Structure 1
């Protein structure tokens, strides 16, 4: 009986190991705020700039923005919450009010898009995956 039990345990372990695939390498976004946020992402695809959005994240939720090993060191993100808060920067990309995937970052207005400032995410030279953490913006303390 012990022999059968050991054989079953070994079989279960072998199935578990065979089913385990390689670790995923992705660009992820986590919303660690108390509000729902909408997120847009911009990156270079090797031929030019691409901006796309919107991912909607509930409070304390995470989502994969790009699947697979990171192909670049720098990515750009813009996010806004339902209370009017923004996470923005000085890298301007094209966006739209509705779901979008836009090639290029020039002449946004002429092409019928909005022009939005994204913040830079430096993933490092050799990173294969990265998670961006959005947090509530600090409120200055009053003396």
Structure 2
């Protein structure tokens, strides 16, 4: 009998299709989503809880996250999409708050976080036993992609973020997707055979995280993590959207679609717990005079009036001059 554990994404719900099975062998996670994800697992055994992460898994790929006999009373999961996807995915909701770290980690006592660690929600899973005696859990969207569709939808999503028109993101091949992919490969100096290579998603993400001659690009030249938000005005509606995570030394293209008349930008440096940083007693942020609505958690807001009375924050965005066809904003220390 199958049950479903929901992991929330605003663009698409992640589901873990699971069934009851004893944890007795290799545990494998398979990604049938259109996002490259990073996963962390938690193991409860005899009143002790340990966590381990991050395991990066491309669309349509699987990865063993625990080898050999897995002794556990409960197995738990936290999954996150890469920061390159910006405001679309959000962390899952779960009943167990366990410790994680920003980079690869193994935490033996995961219910009491120490310096450099932070609590995150984990969801209990019961993976399916396979014919070879191993265990598998599938990460899937409500679109219920198969492996081929998930891979193509993952390519489409990164093409859109990189500024190429591969919409809709549906996992269905066609002339529009092929034209966008061909243009991407040509502009990035990549040969067509890389599409089938194991490192293709890594190559696409590297391209998305580098400056572009089209659209808006944010580049983080600070030693801190930066969270950014974008505003667009199409002449009828002003939409603010965030937050996009930009790691130190990386660039990112917010997924701005269509041809907006005006684009606005706001960014701020944050610490490991996403608290705003100050430099010489002043907020370390990059904004301007245009006031738009935001909130602490990820958001998309299409009504900009009365922010305060609606429980929203008022944030000053900078207008971005896109007259040259493309603009790179580089955030640096004062």
TM-score, length basis structure 1: 0.71
* 1:128 alignment partner in structure 2: 325
Structure 2 stretches of 5 or more lacking a match? 1-180, 188-211, 271-276, 279-283
Output the aligned Cα RMSD. 2.1
Pair 1:31–1:70, CA change in 2 (3 A): farther
What residue is the counterpart of 1:8 in the other structure? none
Shift of the alpha carbon at 1:95? 0.1
Instruction: Give TM-score, length-normalised by structure 2.
Output: 0.32
Pairs aligned (count): 116
Task: Pick the aligned partner of 2:317 from 118, 122, 137.
Answer: 118
Residues 26, 68 of structure 1: 8 Å contact kept: no
Alpha carbons of structure 1 residues 66 and 46: separation in structure 2 relative to 1, 3 Å: farther
Which stretches of structure 1, 4 residues or more, deviate above 4 A after TM superposition?
Answer: 67-70
Match of 2:231 among 14, 22, 42: 42
With over 3 angstroms needed to count, the CA separation of the structure-2 counterparts of 1:130 and 1:70, relative to structure 1, is: farther
1:40-88 Cα offsets, whole Å, 9 max, x none, are 111113421000000011111111113567533x321111102231112
Listed one character per residue, the Cα deviations across residues 93-127 of structure 1 (whole Å, up to 9, x for unaligned) are 00000000000211111222111111221122xx3
d(CA) in 1 for partners of 2:315 and 2:257? 26
Q: Larger relative contact order (C-alpha < 8 A, sep ≥ 6)? A: 1
CA 97–76 in structure 1, closer or farther in 2 if over 3 Å, else same? same
